[in-house]
Structure 1
Amino acid sequence: MRLHPSLVQSLGRQAARDPEDWEQTFRQMALFDLAEDMKLGFLLAYYRNFAIPSGSDTLVTNGEIPARPLKRSFDTAIVIYELIANGLDSGRGRQMTALLNRVHRHVPGSDEDYLYVLMTLLVVPMRWTQRHGWRKPTQTERDAAIRFFTELGSRMHISNIPATFDEAEVFFDDYESRRVGPSPAGRALMKATVEVFQSMQPRVLHPLTRLMIGTMLDDARLTEALGLPRSTWWSRVVLDAGLAVRNEIRRHTPLRAEPSFRSGQPLTPVYPHGYQLADVGPLNVMSARHRSN
């Protein structure tokens, strides 16, 4: 059996890497080899939080997402990608972890709630990539991912973090089985952030955005909770066919030489000229931070 060129290149990179360098393994996966699918997975993880009524009520009361949906969505992505790109213990990584801890002080919730949010960032992107990526994550990459989020969680003072990916999936599925449900707040948050996904798509696809998101979520409980259209047989066929074509092209294309994210890079439309770390975060937290400096 002849392997696709990109697969040979990707697995070769991994084989040459120190198996103990979990942070670099995760960085390579998220910013280079599987960057497109990890990005989609993080976006879907963000949306899932709106399907938890207690959490969505808090987010609406906080006011940041309804007032500034694009900024909040981009800032959430910036935080996680700053941590991945620069490392948890880098200067920029420590600033982002400090920001996360400050934000949590403004968001009431239980330890289980905080753990769920953390696990969405692990489980959802890895499941999406396992099912839809141009290649499946390797066991080394899965181990690196769980180690990354375990280390991040410990810096955020989150307890009872699962030790393996299988345990993370069990916690994640159990939490959602008990907590997912419709709420006016969750639907309002989803409506406010649909434009974020639209900003990533050609204008001709904008009328189909809600159905596309519902099809990618592929879960009737979530679409009902978020007020999204359920996937249809034809929307699933279109999604699967589009991804199949993309993946076949991807397997014959050299791996990206440049990362999908660079610190401070322009991010249209929120940061068209780039950003400083001081720009990132909810305005109430940013104001408190400036007053303390």
Structure 2
Amino acid sequence: MSATYHKRFFFRPDAGVAREIAGLDAKRDCQRIVHLLTAYEFPWDFQRALELALFYTYGSATVSKVLNATGQFSKSGQKRYDDTRLLMTHIMDSGWDGEFGRRALERVNKSHGHYRIAAADFLFVLWTFIEFPIRWTTHFGPRPMTPHEQRAWFYFWAGLGERMHIPGIPESKAAFDRWVADYKRRTFKPNDDSAAVAAATLAIFESWLPPLLRGKASPVIYSLFDDDLPFLNAVKVSLPPGYLRPVLERALRAYGKLRRHVVTGPYPVLPDSPRNRTYGDRPYRIEDLRPESLGKKEARQG
């Protein structure tokens, strides 16, 4: 039976989590390792990193064309965000072999089956899920992910991609990086779809802020991409003020150092924490985490 960990002295993280991870096999035990990373070691970091990962996919003209055509971001952006977060966190929490992870994966595959999505676009999105958590924890986490954890992280997402029937998944992170560099040269072009989906997503983020701070989110978020001009050009955004990124990085690093010694939230963090804005305390079915238009379509199809 898998161990469950608890805070030490009511506020300290348990070092036993990292010890268990280190003793597991990166490939064979990748589902358990990802659960431990998600629930205990990096829950806040992974949530922020995967938000940026999804945002970065808008740099691709072909990905954004599909997303913008659905109209989900402009019509029901908060629901789309909450559904995606819940599906991904259930998969990371229980793995594809666990009941909730299996059901979430089935829901993802069923939803994707309604759209014509190129294999290359699936691969690019998959790469962002691998890359951004590694990048975030390296710069802002309570500690960097170890090479062992990074390998497990890669194997987890590669395994998930196989179960999503994505062809051509590279055999290593380095090979995936090389593939993505070529993909971005082909697809990161200024276009209206990328700009529209990025703007709609920023509107979601800004709706979470007090009224006086709305309008400030855009330059702050884009400052994290100020070293990636192809992305900024693709979403038709000017380079943010140069002073923003150093200020934001100092704040994020300071928060990361604090979390190295102090658990600032629940432990472990479960998929339903924090409470999402769409469902609140109301129960939901994983099978219903889909756009409303797909729900109506699937109901007609029986």
- TM-score (norm: length of structure 1): 0.88
**Residue 184 (1) aligns with residue 192 (2):** yes
> What is the match of residue 164 of structure 2?
156
**Residue 245 (1) aligns with residue 282 (2):** no
Q: CA deviation at 1:24?
A: 1.2
Q: Distance in 2 between matches of 1:15 and 1:57?
A: 42
Q: Secondary structure at the match of 2:215?
A: helix
Q: CA deviation at 1:217?
A: 2.5
Q: CA deviation at 1:10?
A: 5.2
> What is the match of residue 133 of structure 2?
125
Quick one: structure 1 residues 140 and 189, their matched pair in 2 at CA, closer, same or farther if it must change by over 3 Å? same
Quick one: structure 1 residues 74 and 96, their matched pair in 2 at CA, closer, same or farther if it must change by over 3 Å? same
**Residue 11 (1) aligns with residue 12 (2):** no
**Residue 64 (1) aligns with residue 107 (2):** no
Q: CA deviation at 1:292?
A: 4.7
Quick one: structure 1 residues 200 and 133, their matched pair in 2 at CA, closer, same or farther if it must change by over 3 Å? farther
Quick one: structure 1 residues 8 and 232, their matched pair in 2 at CA, closer, same or farther if it must change by over 3 Å? farther
Q: CA deviation at 1:229?
A: 4.3
Instruction: Give the gaps of 5 or more residues in structure 1.
Output: none
Quick one: structure 1 residues 24 and 196, their matched pair in 2 at CA, closer, same or farther if it must change by over 3 Å? farther
Amino acid at match of 1:165: K
Q: CA deviation at 1:257?
A: 5.7
Query: After the TM superposition, which of the residue ranges 274-283 and 141-150 deviates more from structure 2?
Result: 274-283
> What is the match of residue 196 of structure 1?
204
Q: Secondary structure at the match of 2:243?
A: helix
Q: Distance in 1 between matches of 2:160 and 2:177?
A: 18
1:220-245, CA deviations, whole angstroms, 9 ceiling, x for partnerless residues? Answer: 22122223342333101111110122
Amino acid at match of 1:213: I
Q: CA deviation at 1:263?
A: 4.6
Q: CA RMSD in A?
A: 2.5
> What is the match of residue 271 of structure 1?
279
Percent identity between the two aligned chains: 25
Quick one: structure 1 residues 204 and 10, their matched pair in 2 at CA, closer, same or farther if it must change by over 3 Å? farther
Quick one: structure 1 residues 227 and 32, their matched pair in 2 at CA, closer, same or farther if it must change by over 3 Å? farther
Q: Secondary structure at the match of 1:207?
A: coil
1:101-112 equivalences under 5 Å are 101-112=109-120
Quick one: structure 1 residues 281 and 189, their matched pair in 2 at CA, closer, same or farther if it must change by over 3 Å? same
Quick one: structure 1 residues 31 and 237, their matched pair in 2 at CA, closer, same or farther if it must change by over 3 Å? same
Aligned length: 288
1:101-146, CA deviations, whole angstroms, 9 ceiling, x for partnerless residues? Answer: 2222222232111111111111122222222222110122111111
1:259 to 260, 268, 271: 268
Q: Distance in 2 between matches of 1:264 and 1:33?
A: 15
Query: After the TM superposition, which of the residue ranges 214-223 and 35-44 deviates more from structure 2?
Result: 214-223
Amino acid at match of 2:29: D
> What is the match of residue 7 of structure 2?
none
- TM-score (norm: length of structure 2): 0.85
**Residue 235 (1) aligns with residue 244 (2):** yes
Q: Distance in 2 between matches of 1:66 and 1:83?
A: 26
Amino acid at match of 2:180: F
